[in-house]
Amino acid sequence: MKLAIEHKFSLTVYLWGTITGIISGVAAAKMEYGWLLGVALYFVIDRFVMAVIKELPPEIPDERLILRKAFWGWLLFWLYFTMLSYSIMTHFTPQCYSNQSLLYQMVTNGNATVPCNVTPAG
């Protein structure tokens, strides 16, 4: 399967967002400002992209435009994987704060296995 250069570019940006997101989440679980490590790694995305795909799509004539073109794709993947890996590293468990919340309704209907300590109204 041969991918167009635009698709290779996008997949490479998403891959770098995933890698930096996992690094950020793990680092944030270990130290207070660890997530800044992933933000700093954003600024080497141009080197990563050029190392992987070796050429640029036609709409990016210069390597300096890689940062601007890749920002939103990288940001969404970075944010998702930062939150996911941070939640896994800190053993996050949701808590019910109100008997009107969606989580409480799911627990009382048997759809969720999270313990809720909220007393039912009535």
State the pLDDT at residue 82. Answer: 96
Q: What is the pLDDT of residue 112?
A: 76
Average pLDDT for residues 66-73, to the nearest whole number?
92
Do 99 and 65 fall within a single domain? no
Query: Are the CB atoms for 13 and 73 separated by under 8 Å?
Result: yes
Q: Are residues 75 and 110 in the same domain?
A: no
20 and 33 belong to one structural domain: yes
103 & 81 share domain: no
73 confidence band (pLDDT: 50, 70, 90):
very high
Are 84 and 105 members of one domain? no
Q: What is the pLDDT of residue 122?
A: 53
The Cβ of residue 73 has, within 10 Å, a number of other Cβ atoms equal to 18
Please compute the mean of the pLDDT values over residues 39-57 and round it to a whole number: 91
The percentage of the chain sitting over the pLDDT mark of 70, rounded to a whole number, equals: 96
Q: Look at residue 109 in the predicted model and tell me its pLDDT.
A: 84
- Of 12, 3, 14, 6, nearest to 74 by C-alpha is 14
* Domain membership of residue 110 as a residue range: 94-122
| Same-domain pairing of 119 and 72 | no
104 and 86 within one domain: no
Per-residue CA distances from 48 to 9, 10, 43, 67 (Å):
11, 12, 10, 11
CA 53 to CA 7: how far, in whole Å?
A: 10
| pLDDT score recorded for residue 55 | 87
Same domain, 24 and 45: yes
Over 60: is that where the pLDDT of 16 sits?
yes
Confirm whether pTM is higher than 0.85.
Answer: no
In angstroms, what is the C-alpha Rg of the chain? 20
Instruction: Kindly state whether residues 16 and 75 are assigned to the same domain.
Output: yes
